[in-house]
Chains A and B, each alone.
Chain A
Amino acid sequence: MKRASATKPAMALPALIRQLSEAVAVSGDEHAVRSLVLQAVQDSADKLEVDALGTVLATRTGTSRRRERVLAAAHMDEVGVMIVSIESDGLLAIEAVGGLDPRVLLGKQLWVGRQRLPGVVGATPVHLLKDDEEKRPVAFDALRLDIGAGSREAAAKLVQPGDRATFATSFRNLGGTLRGKALDDRVGVALLIELFRSSRFEFDFTAAFTVQEEVGLRGAQAAAFAIDPVAALVLEVTPANDLPPQPGETENVRYNTRLGHGAALSLADSSTLYPRALVQHFAAIAVRDQIPFQYRQPGGGGNDSGGIQRRRSGIPVVALSVPGRYIHSPAALVRLSDVRAALQLARAALSELPRRPARA
C-alpha cells in the first residue's frame, strides 16, 4: 500500500510554468507572481521573508554545521508598458518598462492594469501609410493603447497613469515546446521553486525571487547584500536566436543559444564576466552526469548575475539559462527538455559545490 504523503503533491513543471506565465508582473508591480511564489514555497521554507523592495527570500537550513550560505535567484518581473497619460479621446499613451521593442507591440492585445482589462495597441491601417512609413519602425511615442473607453472621463474610471500592461497571451504546451508570455523569467522562477522544494543542501540555501531585473537588476543587488552568500546561481531564460539562415547567409553563425541543446552556461555578457572555476564545475558535472548543456555565446544582454557579483566584497556567480526564442515579445518558446536539463544540472552542481567556489 502506498504511504500517505504529508505534503501535497507538487504541481507538474509545465502546469507550474503555465500558472506563472499567465500571471502579470511588470517590473515594480510583481504582486501577482509574488503571491504564487509565496504559496509555492511556504511549506518548504525554514525562513520566509519579503524584503524592502518586494523580493521573496526563502531559506532552507543546511545539513552542515558550517552555516555557509548559497543564493539562487530568478526574477519575478517581466517587461511591459506603463500608462503615462490618458488623452482626450480616451486613448492611453504608454512607455516601455524594460527592454521592449515597440515593433512587437503594434497590433497586439494587452492585459491592462491589475484588473486585466482588454486593450489593443492600434496601428494605422496599411492603406493610409505613406511609402516610407511602411518601412520605418514605429516609435514608442506613436503608440496608443485603446481600451475602448471613448473619452478621457470614461478611461479615467478604468485606469490611471502608473498602471501597467503586458501581452495578453494564453500559455500553450505545444508538445515538448512551451509557448507563453514572460517565460523570461517565469521558467527560471518555476525552476527555482522546484529546486527549492526538492533539495536540502549542506549549506543554507536561499532562493531569491527577485524584483525589477528588467529595469536594472534592482532586486538582486539588495538580496545579495542581505544574504551575503559564498556563491550564487542565477536561473534565467536567455535569447536563442537560432533561426534558419537569412537570405545571403549559408549558416546561422549569430545564434546565442539553441533550443533543444540543453541548459546554457554563461561565460561573459554585458553585465558579468563569470568566474571560470565555477562555470567549469557546472560543466564538469553536466559531462559526468550526461546532462545536455551548451555555452551561451559571449555577448550582449545580462541578468541578475551583474547585480549580485558586485555586492559586498564580491560574490562568485554562475548563470544557468534555458534558451528561449522571442523573449520580450507576446510569446516566447522554450523546450521542456532544456528546462528539465537546467533543473537537473542546478541540483547536481549545487549538491557538490566546492567549498571555495571562486578558487575551485
Chain B
Amino acid sequence: MAPRTNIDLAAHLVELCRAAGLSGHEAPVRSLLRKVWRPLVDELSGDRIGSLWGIRRAARRPAGRILLAAHMDSIGMLVTRIQDGFLFFAEIGGIDARVLPGALVQVHATRAGGSTPLAGVITSRPPHVQTADEKRKVTPVPELMVDLGLSAAQTASRVQIGDLIVFAQPPVRLGSDLLMAPALDNRASIAALTGCLAQLRGHALQWDVIAAATVQEEEGFAGAYSSAFAAHPDAAIAIDVTFGRQAGPPEWKTFKLGEGPTVSFGPNLHPQMGAALMEVAASNAISCPRDVMPLHSGTDAYAMQVSRAGIPCGLVSIPLRNMHTPVEVVALADVEQAAQLLAKFVLALDRKFRARLKVHA
C-alpha cells in the first residue's frame, strides 16, 4: 500500500486541538504527532526536553540544514490549592483573566492514578449578588476557582496540586472556511508543518530538513533554544500565529483571515530569509502579507536567532483571532497556504543559499 501523502489538514488540525499539551506537559500532542509524522519522514528524533523532530535527509552530502520550528505547547492552567472542593489555579502562558469567568474547563485529575478528565467551570458571580466593587473590576486569577460540582471529599480524593486544567471548548467550524478552537495557537502551525512534510514526500531534497514541534514556547521558548542548539542548522524558520483582523485592535496590527500567511521582517529575522520567502511566495502565486516587527517577534525565532554562533531566522505566521482565549479562530486556507509556502521554500533551497545568508545588505 502506498504511503499516505495527502493529509486532510482540517481533520488533522481538529485532532491536534483536541489533544492536551500545556507548556511543559506536551506528551499527549507529541504522541499524536509522532504517529502522524512517522510515515512522512526518514527519522523521528528530538531534543532532551520533549521537542519532537521529523527529519528528512538530503539526497547528497554535503548538504545544508534547515530547521522548521513550530511550538506544540498551549496555554492553560495548573491547580495550586484546593479548598472546600474548589480548585484555585495559576496560569500557564499568558492568559487573559477577562475571558475566564464562566469558561468551561477540563481538569486532568491524577490523585487516583492515571489521568481522569473531570468537567469543570470557572467561577463567576451573577449580577444579582455582585458587590459594587465586583461590578467595577476584572476578577484577578487568584480570586477565581474551578468548580467540579463535586463534594469537598470527592474532589480531594481525585485532584491534587499540579493537576492540569485545559479549556473544554470543542473545535467548531465557523462559517464555511474558518475553524474555532482553543490551542490553535500554535496547533495551526503544527498542522502547516505536517502539510509541508506531506508535500515533501517523494521529492529528493538538497538540504536536510528538521521539522521540530517545540516545547514550552509560551513560557520562555525552551524547546526552541534546545532544538536550535542540538540541530545546529544553517537557517531556521519559526512558524507561529499572528494577530487576525477582528473587532478591538487597531487595523494596522492585524491581518485579514484567508488572505494568506504572513512573512515577517525586523531585527529578530534575517532580511534574506524574509526576501527568499517572499520570492518563493510570488513565484508560486501564494499571497503573503508582510508582517513587520520592530522589536521582539514573540516566537521561537527569538530564541533560535541567538543559538550557537547565531542562526539566520525567518518567520511565517498564520493570522488568528482572539489569541490566548478558548475561542481562537483561523482560516483553514491560511494553514494550507503556509504548508505550501514552507514546502516550496524547502524545494527551492540549493547550494547557493548558504552564501546568500551572508549578505546583510
A interface residues, Cβ below 8 angstroms from B: 89, 91, 99-101, 103-104, 106-109, 118-129, 134-138, 142, 144, 146-150, 154, 168-169, 172, 174-179, 239, 241, 243-244, 246-247, 254, 256, 260, 299-301, 325-331, 333
Contact across chains for A91 and B247 when beta carbons are under 8 A apart? yes
Closest A-chain residue to B250, C-beta based? Answer: A128
B125 at the interface (CB under 8 A from A): yes
In angstroms, Cα B327 to Cα A321, docked, is 34
Contact across chains for A104 and B298 when beta carbons are under 8 A apart? no
Contact across chains for B174 and A127 when beta carbons are under 8 A apart? no
B interface residues, Cβ below 8 angstroms from A: 83-84, 86, 94-99, 101-104, 119, 121, 123-131, 135-138, 142-143, 145, 147-151, 169, 172-178, 180, 243, 245-249, 253, 257-258, 298, 321-327, 329
Contact across chains for B247 and A142 when beta carbons are under 8 A apart? yes
Contact across chains for A120 and B253 when beta carbons are under 8 A apart? no
Contact across chains for B103 and A330 when beta carbons are under 8 A apart? yes
Q: 15 A-B residue contacts at CB 8 Å?
A: A99-B128, A101-B124, A104-B124, A107-B322, A107-B325, A108-B102, A134-B96, A137-B138, A144-B247, A148-B178, A150-B257, A178-B149, A301-B128, A326-B123, A330-B103
Q: Known contacts being A125-B243, A326-B126, is A177 close to B143, with CB within 8 Å?
A: no
Min Cβ gap B185→A in Å is 9
Secondary structure dominating the interface of B: loop
Contact across chains for B173 and A118 when beta carbons are under 8 A apart? yes
Contact across chains for B324 and A146 when beta carbons are under 8 A apart? no
Secondary structure dominating the interface of A: loop
Contact across chains for B101 and A103 when beta carbons are under 8 A apart? yes
Contacts of B324 in A (CB 8 A): 125-127
Contact across chains for A107 and B327 when beta carbons are under 8 A apart? yes
Contacts of A333 in B (CB 8 A): 121, 147, 149
Among the listed A106, A109, A123, A134, which residue makes an inter-chain contact with B169, where contact means beta carbons less than 8 Å apart? A109
Contacts of A329 in B (CB 8 A): 101-102, 121, 124, 126
Among the listed A246, A256, A260, A330, which residue makes an inter-chain contact with B104, where contact means beta carbons less than 8 Å apart? A330
Q: With A148-B177, A177-B149 given, can you name 7 additional A-B contacts, CB distance below 8 Å?
A: A89-B247, A101-B127, A108-B99, A137-B135, A138-B98, A144-B248, A330-B121
Min Cβ gap A97→B in Å is 14
In angstroms, Cα B33 to Cα A140, docked, is 41
Contact across chains for B125 and A241 when beta carbons are under 8 A apart? yes
Contacts of A149 in B (CB 8 A): 175
Q: Known contacts being A107-B325, A107-B326, A138-B98, is A179 close to B247, with CB within 8 Å?
A: no
In angstroms, Cα B175 to Cα A154, docked, is 9
Closest B-chain residue to A242, C-beta based? Answer: B84
Closest A-chain residue to B149, C-beta based? Answer: A177
Contact across chains for B329 and A103 when beta carbons are under 8 A apart? no
